[in-house]
Structure 1
């Protein structure tokens, strides 16, 4: 089954409505700085810490916007999605707050910590093989059986508008930003950054960061059309999915560049953040810092917002152990 999401580009008015709608259910997350990181990179870095967000990830923003925007009749049948983890547990959190069912298709290889969080929030998991093909096929069965409202993890305009509230907060919290960088998989967070910044701060450059071993967004960006890998293998489990039509619109129109990092560079950046900033981030979230360290000439002397997208880590399987 192809993801049956209407191609619809959200507006900045949708962002403002989303922020008002989700305010009771999310944190306004802090922005942290590190003199060590600034000296290391030669840039002034401002880390927007969505690892401190409800459910441990930025995705609760888009999930809450979708869930609390449903009519009572539609909500009664619940919501459904497919996700490797953070969207799954975020949608489960949002559905639980509204008191409706949440059906989630997850790869059997998804981190156990994320599966446990989904179940803890009341989500009902159906497992699939770790490929886009299997994920969409299994989801088609679950969707047909339940009749639940499909909340796509990133291609849904309601989700993109919700994610855009993160960069809106960042621009209110930090003056004079010259660039923002976020991880890219399917492109929900990056699209949200594009949506916000193109409207309120069009001078700010937008960068996306991606693993070398799952670089389909990078190759899409260079080719000028979507290139989708079916089952890439990377430690950054949240970045294995391909761009879709709605997110490609924002990436192709507003992103300055996409930068990549190796598996070891991602692990090193993750460990460095744990050691120096004392914050828990998952591998996917370390990719932006890894690319900043790798490309100092791009960011040197600039004030850069870094979106730390989540902190849901399997503590028994840390990558440097």
Structure 2
């Protein structure tokens, strides 16, 4: 199977907003990026430009939706397609209490027929791909047989792309943060899923922090999704286009990435965007490098307020050895 992408950055609340995605696009051109999860209610009733606008440089880009109503999801999928997104992803993995209250996210894993109904409605509404991000199980419904049945039922709609977080979710007793670390990783279940459904495109997610790990997983599945490590150390993606996609391109240095962000920061400054909204995503760019503490400190201390702009970033960059 020819994969539409080999590596992606997971959708993360309060992380993968448009400014972080623009930063990532200065590091890697080929990696698939995701929005934060956007609920159907927010799109139907809220400020769509604020929720959905993105820079053309962010492609390829997936809009992740949260919801459980097929009609609403179909409407929002169509809005996303018209807005210019490359695919629509349904969240069947988030375990937060707020999400559970709305009967979507991870709790939908117990209702594969409803998920299938949602996916079918979305597919009928759009021409772009509709994909699913889910867990390997929830609560006591965490056997491989439960996982197999979920994918089997949903794939009968024609959906052929599944991003699988290789941990179960506890809907009660663990916080969303604990649900990302406490349940053990079961990569073998995801590998087995690919064996049982060779016609499907299976992406693995959970606990993956390096390019070497990514290459190992790609021997077993079609693609790898990286979450927190992408935010905590974005420069791990610097060689993805060359080493994973085989492009003949040298990676940008960290300094070159920062310099590429300056015109973007200036454009947004003129629109009234505060520097902190962008610079907060750049703090870990020099992780593990000489000068990283000075870089973070200067931006944090000097980057407050509405009037500051590129100069703060340029001055912080001067503190980091090339």
Q: If the length of structure 2 is used for normalisation, what is the TM-score?
A: 0.29
Structure scoring higher RCO (CA < 8 A, sep ≥ 6) equals: 1
Structure showing greater Rg? 2
Normalized per residue, the structure richer in helix is 1
Under a length normalisation based on structure 1, what TM-score does the superposition of the two structures give? 0.30
